[in-house]
Amino acid sequence: MARLQTTDLLLSEPISALALPVLNDAYHEQTSAFNIRSIGTMICRKANFADLERITSLLQEEDLRPEGVLEPSTHYWVAEEADKLLSSVGLELGAKSALLRSAIVEPQSRGQGIGRQLATEALDWAKKEGFRAAYCLSTHAGSYWLRLGFRVCPVDEVGAELKDAPQMGLFHELGWLPTEVAFKMHLSDHTAGLSQPN
């Protein structure tokens, strides 16, 4: 079972130290810029293509769509413990905004703050990179995003800000957009770090 201790000192080392197989030079440039963090026995780190199969399985087990995961202009983070993938979250990047998607924690590890931790990791990164807003689409987990500081916004706004985002394209093709609920967070309102209460 993962232990998430927000009071633990964060240990950072270059992601290159992980020696993960890298299948794409462009993606290697992205991952090499990030650090891994060890929190108790759980590691949060930037994802790469070696994680694609496990992220896909995690999503499919929950009937979430994996199309577009790790496509260009996306950044993903994963949490793992002893080589077991516990969680993922992704950002699809527009010019000024990012679409948060594929937020998932494997069933036995839920309720320990891992979802919050990984979403915070992604939002910290987006804020630091100068993105102004983060959006997400959700039909079933709306109250979760509200607790993390998102607010309901029009789905059309997400379409305008992130028209090339893979998830927007997929949901458009599937005809899902009319029934989706959209959420927005101004990243100036996002407090970076690990210790935000639930």
Q: Token match 């990791």: residue?
A: 121
Question: Which CB, 27 or 56, lies closer to ligand COA?
Answer: 56
Query: Considering only residues 19, 95, 140, 178, which one is a binding residue for ligand COA as defined by CB under 6 A?
Result: 140
Question: 62, 156, 164, 189: which one contacts ligand COA (CB under 6 A)?
Answer: 62
**What's the half-sphere exposure (Cβ side, CA atoms, 13 Å) at 139?**
8
Interface stretch with ligand COA, choices 35-43, 46-54, 98-106, 174-182 (CB under 6 A)? 98-106
Q: Is 178 in the site for ligand COA (CB under 6 A)?
A: no
Tell me if 47 contacts ligand COA by CB under 6 A: no
45, 46, 75, 116: residue in contact with ligand COA (rule CB under 6 A): 116
CA distances from 61 to 1, 28, 58, 64, 66 (A): 19, 28, 5, 8, 11
Answer for which of 105, 126, 134, 165 binds ligand COA (CB under 6 A) is: 105
**The one segment of 36-44, 70-78, 108-116, 173-181 that binds ligand COA by CB under 6 A:** 108-116
Give the Cα separation of 54 and 147 in Å (integer): 28
- Three-state SS annotation for 35-104: EEEEECCEEEEECCHHHHHHHHHHHHHCCCCCCCCCCCCEEEEEEEECCEEEEEEEEEECCCEEEEEEEE
- Told to check if 198 binds ligand COA by CB under 6 A, we report yes
- Tokens (6 digits) for 72: 């260009």
Q: Which residues bind ligand COA (CB under 6 A)?
A: 62, 103-105, 110-116, 138, 140-141, 143-144, 198
